[in-house]
A and B are shown apart, each in its own frame.
Chain A
């Protein structure tokens, strides 16, 4: 259990650095930006305390906001996603008795992919709509959501299959 928290903190820091120093400089065709840090929310154990999940998500969003000069935008989107995480998990995974279960491509490929797609779409939709609150046209916003999802989802799935190559059944 203790190992779990250390692993989560490392993942948190790595994802923040990756997002701010590398991924946010990428802007494919001017519309698609990979938003990878949501991966942190995907990889928390199913039964993790909700206050912990929501607070961690908020702090992560806020740190990214501070780096990107967009105070509030990432924090709001990420907190909202974290708040609904448990409900969304219920849509794709069997919940009872699996509190320590960490969603992953190796343990449950199908549900994990669907779960990822849903979470990323939700997060990016919130993020880009908050960002575009007053300024830009709907078409451009929708295009950016779609393009960024297309870049982000394969990246998350690839990252997950690279990082967690362990025997089936083995838990972290």
Chain B
């Protein structure tokens, strides 16, 4: 008996190790549903603060490049303004023959609102890639909102805390998005196979969909993103899981290595659409 006790006492550190490892695995497996242990994420106060601090330092080194991007973006918007101005002039021209009696005199409420946010942390060394942004529920961010950058689609908001939120980027194996090729109406499912940070896969395309290098990939039906946002460009033919579908590798339009400023999309119709679809399902 005494020997048994001695044995247990001598080896009790194994017991401690076993308990701690068991607890770790518990965390690994329960965390698959992201919402549960919200506070054990980089969106919590302490880690968020740390990351903002380090972000302040590193963002300095990207200023030049980001300026360039912003300039390009503003040029694009400028162009759009010109086009829209032309349209307005046309509509309000006094000598127009068209009757404009029923045109409403206020601008329609836009469907999409954009909340600018800054990336405070990117973790993409492993397979579980995440982005932490510095806007949270205080700024009107809700789970399942889309996130884009000047380049293209970034990801979807998953966990929201008052000041920070966590984004699941395109380059996370749990990310799925319906996407289509610009020059055809066929759509497939976008996912990431974990091999390269710059590349995702467009799967489940019809077999007859021909491969053209450089084809633009756009968002298709989605509750989260507006239609026709750029996701990336077709770069090579990928390996399909079966012979019935084609898979293309997509060069992502967003450069995750230098990602700093993002826009969170607030779809004002989202609630209504969701409600409607849920009533139908019932």
Chain A residues in the interface with B (C-beta under 8 A): 20-21, 24-27, 30, 33, 50-51, 54-55, 58, 61-62, 65-73, 75-76, 79-80, 82-83, 130-133, 135-136, 140
Q: Are A72 and B28 in contact (CB under 8 A)?
A: yes
Q: How large is the interface on B (under 10, 10 to 19, 20 to 34, 35 or more residues)?
A: 35 or more
Q: Which of A20, A62, A69, A130 has a CB less than 8 Å from the CB of B130?
A: A69
- In the assembled complex, the CB of A142 is this many whole angstroms from the nearest CB of chain B, namely 14
Q: Which of A21, A33, A61 has a CB less than 8 Å from the CB of B125?
A: A33
**Stretch touching chain A among B34-42, B247-255, B264-272:** B34-42
Residues of A close to B127: CB separation below 8 A: 131-132, 135-136
Q: Are B24 and A58 in contact (CB under 8 A)?
A: yes
- In the assembled complex, the CB of B240 is this many whole angstroms from the nearest CB of chain A, namely 15
Interchain CA distance A5-B54 in the complex, whole Å: 28
1/0 contact trace for B1-43 toward A, CB 8 Å? 0000000000001101100110111111101000001001110
Residues of A close to B42: CB separation below 8 A: 66-69
Interchain CA distance A71-B168 in the complex, whole Å: 15
Q: Are B195 and A65 in contact (CB under 8 A)?
A: no
| Interchain residue pairs with CB less than 8 A apart (25) | A21-B54, A24-B125, A27-B125, A27-B197, A33-B126, A54-B13, A54-B16, A58-B24, A61-B24, A62-B24, A65-B27, A65-B40, A72-B23, A72-B24, A72-B28, A75-B23, A76-B25, A82-B17, A83-B14, A130-B25, A130-B28, A131-B126, A131-B127, A135-B127, A136-B194
Q: Are A66 and B128 in contact (CB under 8 A)?
A: no
Q: A68-B126, A83-B21, A136-B193 are in contact. List 12 more A-B contacts (CB 8 A).
A: A51-B16, A54-B13, A61-B24, A68-B130, A69-B128, A72-B23, A72-B24, A80-B21, A83-B17, A131-B128, A133-B28, A140-B194
Residues of A close to B25: CB separation below 8 A: 72, 76, 130
Q: Are B195 and A140 in contact (CB under 8 A)?
A: yes
Q: Which of A20, A65, A80 has a CB less than 8 Å from the CB of B17?
A: A80
Q: Are B40 and A71 in contact (CB under 8 A)?
A: yes
Q: Does B245 contact A (CB under 8 A)?
A: no
Residues of A close to B173: CB separation below 8 A: 135-136
Residues of A close to B51: CB separation below 8 A: 21
